[in-house]
Amino acid sequence: MPVWNEREECLGLEERVQQQWERLQSSLNRAHKNVPFYRNHFREEKIDPAQMETLSDWERIPFTFPRHFGENYPYGLFAVPLRDVVRIHTARGIELKPIVSGYTKQDIGIWREIMARALTAAGVSRADILQIDLDPGLANWGRHYKDGAESIEAGVIPLTLLPHEKQLMVLRDYKTSVLITSTSAALQLKDLLFRANLNPNSLSLKTLILVGEPTGAAVQRRIEEELHVRTWVHYGLSEVPGPGLAFQCEERQGLHVSEDHFFPEVVDPETGRSVPEESEGELVLTTLTTRAFPLIRFRTGDRVRIFSKPCPCGRTLRRMEWLPHRTDEMMIIRGVKVHHRQVLLLLSRFLGFSPHPHRFLVRRREFIDTLEVWLKVDEQVFSDEIKEMEKLCQRLEAELAQELGVPVKIRLKEEDSFSNVGSNGAIEDLRP
Amino acid sequence: MLRIRNLRCHYGRIRAINGVSLSVRPGELIALIGANGAGKSTLLQSICGLHGQWEGEILFQKEPLKGLKPPAIVGMGVSLVPEGRMLFPPMSVLDNLRLGAYVRYRRRENREIARDLDSVFELFPVLRERAQQPAGTLSGGEQQMLAMGRALMARPRMLLLDEPSMGLAPFIVRLILDILLQLKEQGMTILLVEQNARAALQIADRGYVIENGRIVLDGPAGELLVDQDVKRAYLGKDYREFCEGRT
């Protein structure tokens, strides 16, 4: 399989170490110089960027957590004047305030490069027609994939919010050869195809790029056998800065991290200390080239292992194994991250009161992963007209689905349905 | 070829360079741009052994330069074209060039030196015409050429240039930059320090931006040329162009 940018992807080890160190220093200097949040954050911990001489100095730098995005809404973490920003993305935060990230013209170019290399590693070329089918919660990723695919001159069917039947029609009639979708959506694709009376053999589809969820080899094999395709896993961040920052090559032994643009670390989620090479821990990312929205030691909540042994594909970018289960209470539904606190806040806003008790479940309903919200029927929700209660449910479903970007089902339940709800209110995963 | 890590330089209690890491790969032309007093010249002087008070690591072809005297560093293949040319004005152009090969005369490389003198004259034909003239009588552009020729006479593997465009007319600057490009095509590795950021970035492969002794930006030269921050700070864009409209 070809390599998109051989010079950068196959850089010698010594040069890589030097390049990363140079970029860590300049990234840190830029963040310190231009973003008050980072300057104060470092000052509190008595960190002087000029004193960073080794990786153990680096580990003294405080982490950035998802909550910091909300606290600095909307533009507080931008490192360039607003007039330099050419694209503004919004993603859901863990609470009500969204995460706003910006991109300069150079940032957009860098993302185009990152996506092009990830797609090239999956064998995508100008001969392909690439369709992007992601849930609305991952709309930002759709734009990056579109840009990257266009830069390798593939034909792109951009992300358009269509019902499943229409997506299938496009898949068949437009002769899509590459589909970018979440792993859970890919798992449901066979059933949806069969229901629509479509034989996978009748499609031009040959490549499936799976995003948004950790996907093991067994699941990849299952999808490949069911749909007669080859699958490739891409890792990205839905908050910021984007998708495909780690990608599978033809060896399928982990995902290569684009280390010329991101510095990955693995830490113990409890202590925050670095774990030994190849040990499991939480992925921490620092952007190395980003201009508008630099991230310094961002705790991703994703559980990974990173290993440096050389890959037969020739790339020297270190690889990571993306492990199931996150280190936090975030739930991934069709590739979209959802936090129970956010669901509760949204419900309270729509209802005008905080519903208690409640229960949040993820279930597969008619082949589609869905967030199911159970609310107790009490005097605040109860109406003697069934129609009114149905209307309330429909309104809540529509509003929650719009805000969260995943399918939602509201169910009104009697009190005894809530007897064994966990104390922290986290989303329960009941998917097979 | 050149690898610098965590360089810190002091002038007494004043810190001129504050943790700089930078690298130049073989055959690359790297531009280091920054305002007056940002630490550019100090960095070059540290590499050449002209400024001894530094901490950190400077490796040239994997060999540490710490503690080496300037002649030893020149002997390893690093030549500096200093800011303000630093020629020997009463001496002839030819003698100035010969002085550039000083460390090589001691190695009895006379025949090779004569050949190199010819190639310098080929690169800068005007120097052949003025060979017997005192260096001080040359024009600014010719002096700059002489300074470059003198540095080349040491047969360097890497050429460091400190503000070669300073005080020169734009067409001479263009000429000097074209010669640098020619040298690059011949395989020379070049670290170019410039305040004239646009000129430097137009010919460089990559660039570093230094501010107050720290690197704040690096990347492919083409990207830096269009970077709004670089444009504002170093390319002399009309300030209003940036301030009108969005804030």
Beta-bridged to residue A409, according to DSSP, are A372
pLDDT, residue A306, reads 96
Q: Report the pLDDT value the prediction gives residue A253, as an integer from 0 to 100.
A: 92
Tokens 């270190």, residue?
A318
Binary contact (A25, B21; C-beta < 8 A):
yes
- Please give the helix or strand (H or E) that residue B218 lies within, else none: strand B214-220
Q: With residue A114 as reference, give the H or E element that holds it.
A: helix A105-121
Structure tokens at A428: 């329960």
Could you tell me the sign of the dihedral formed by the alpha carbons of A373, A376, A378, A384, in that order? positive
Interface probe for A, chosen from B33, B43, B217 (most Cβ of A below 10 Å), is B217
Interface predicted TM-score (ipTM) of this complex, two decimals? 0.86
Of A30, A51, A109, which is closest to B216 when you measure between CB atoms?
A30
Could you tell me which residues are beta bridge partners of residue A157?
A: A131
Q: Pairing mode, if any, of strands A178-182 and A129-132? A: parallel
Report pLDDT for B238: 44
Q: Show me where the domains of chain A are located.
A: 1-328, 339-429
Q: How confident is the model at residue A287 (pLDDT cuts 50, 70, 90)?
A: very high
Tell me the CATH architecture of domain A339-429. 2-Layer Sandwich (3.30)
Kindly report whether the peptide bond that precedes residue A241 is cis, defined as omega within 30 degrees of 0. Answer: yes
Confidence of residue A423 (pLDDT cuts 50, 70, 90): low
Residue finishing a domain among B155, B183, B200: B155
Specify the pLDDT at position A421.
65
Q: Residue B92 half-sphere exposure, CB side, CA atoms within 13 Å?
A: 9
Tell whether the model's pLDDT for residue A380 goes beyond 60.
yes
Fold of the domain built from segment(s) A1-328: Rossmann fold (3.40.50)
**Of B18, B218, B246, which is closest to A83 when you measure between CB atoms?**
B246
Q: Which two tokens stand for residue B147?
A: 């300074």
Cα–Cα separations (whole angstroms), residue A346 to A86, A355, A397, A425, B236: 30, 11, 11, 15, 49
Q: Could you report the per-residue pLDDT of A167-216, keeping only the tens digit for each? A: 899 999 999 999 999 988 898 888 888 888 888 888 999 999 999 989 98
What 8-state DSSP symbol labels residue A308? -
Query: Domain check: are B177 and B137 in the same one?
Result: no
Q: Tell me which residues of chain B, numbers 159 to 218, contact chain A at a CB-CB cutoff of 8 Å.
A: 208, 211, 213-218
The least confident of A1-10, A182-191, A382-391, B25-34 is A382-391
Would you say residue A115 has pLDDT above 60?
yes
Indicate whether B164 and B151 sit together in one domain.
Answer: no
B163: left (phi over 0), alpha (psi -120 to 50) or beta: left
Distance CA A215, CA B201 (A): 44
Token pair for B33:
């741009």
Which residue in this structure is represented by tokens 């809530």? Answer: A418
CB contact A289 to B (< 8 Å): yes
Question: What pLDDT does B242 receive?
Answer: 44
Q: Which domain range does residue B137 map to?
A: 84-155
Given pLDDT bands bounded at 50, 70 and 90, which one contains residue A269? very high
pLDDT lower than 50: segments of chain B = 237-245, 247
Q: Cis link prior to A36 (omega < 30° from 0)?
A: no
**Beta strands A99-104 and A85-91: pairing type?**
antiparallel
Q: Is pLDDT of A419 > 50?
A: yes
Per-residue confidence (pLDDT) for residue B246, from 0 to 100: 53
Mean pLDDT of chain A, nearest integer:
89
> Among the three residues B125, B155, B185, which one is the final residue of a domain in this structure?
B155
Q: State how far the Cα of A210 lies from the Cα of A429, in Å rounded to an integer.
A: 20
Q: Give me the sheet containing A255-257, strands edge to edge.
A: A155-157, A129-132, A178-182, A207-211, A230-235, A246-248, A255-257, A319-323, A298-307, A281-287, A262-267
pTM of the model: 0.87
Q: In this structure, what CATH number is given to the domain that contains residue B59? A: 3.40.50.300
Question: Is the minimum CB–CB distance between A106 and chain B shorter than 8 Å?
Answer: yes
Residues of B in contact with A33 (CB under 8 A): 211, 216
pLDDT for A351 equals: 84
Using a 10 angstrom Cβ sphere, with 0-12 exposed, 13-18 middle and 19 or more buried, the burial of residue A417 is middle
Q: How far is CA A54 from CA A156, A309, B19, in A?
A: 44, 22, 11
Mutate which: A11, A24, A25, vs B, most B CBs within 10 A: A25
Please report residues of B whose CB lies closer than 8 A to that of A289.
Answer: 219
Residues 6 or more apart in contact with residue B193 via CB below 8 angstroms:
B31, B32, B33, B40, B41, B43, B44, B160, B161, B162, B163
pLDDT of residue A197: 87
User: What does the pLDDT read at residue A133?
Assistant: 92
Report CA Rg, chain B. 18
Residue A25 at interface with chain B, using a CB cutoff of 8 Å: yes
Does B19 contact A at CB distance below 8 Å? yes
Q: Which of residues 76-115 of B touch A (CB under 8 A)?
A: none
Best CA proximity match to A93, nearest among A63, A67, A64: A67
Residues A333-347 have a mean pLDDT of 85
Contact A223, A191 (CB under 8 A): no
Give the three-state DSSP class for A400.
helix
When pLDDT is averaged across residues A302-314 and rounded to a whole number, the result is: 94
Question: What is the spatial distance between Cα A190 and Cα A229, in angstroms, rounded to a whole number?
Answer: 12
The Cα–Cα gap between B59 and B77 comes to 12
The count of structural domains within chain B is 2
Lowest mean pLDDT, pick from A135-149, A366-380, B170-184: A366-380
Q: How much is the pLDDT for B239?
A: 45
| Residues A244/A148, Cβ–Cβ less than 8 Å | yes
> CB contacts < 8 Å between A and B, how many?
72
Report chain B residues whose CB lies below 8 A from the CB of A82: 246-247
Cβ–Cβ below 8 Å for B219 and A106? yes
DSSP B92: B
Interface touch B229/A83, C-beta < 8 Å: no
- Residue A104 · residue A291 · CB < 8 Å: yes
Q: B175 with B187, same domain?
A: yes
Average pLDDT over residues A226-234: 94
- Chain A CB contacts of B61 below 8 Å: none
Nearest Cα to Cα of residue B145 among A293, A369, B131: B131
Judge if B6 and B68 occupy the same domain: yes
Residue A196: the pLDDT is: 85
User: Measuring CA to CA, which residue among B55, B39, B66, B63 is closest to residue B195?
Assistant: B39
Å between B148 CA and nearest CA of chain A: 29
The answer to whether residues B58 and B140 belong to one domain is no
**pLDDT of the residue at B243:** 46
Residue of A208, A108, A110, A116 lying closest to A153 (CA atoms): A116
Tell whether A29 is within 8 A of chain B (Cβ): yes
For the CA atoms of A307, A310, A315, A316, what is the dihedral angle to 10 degrees? 70
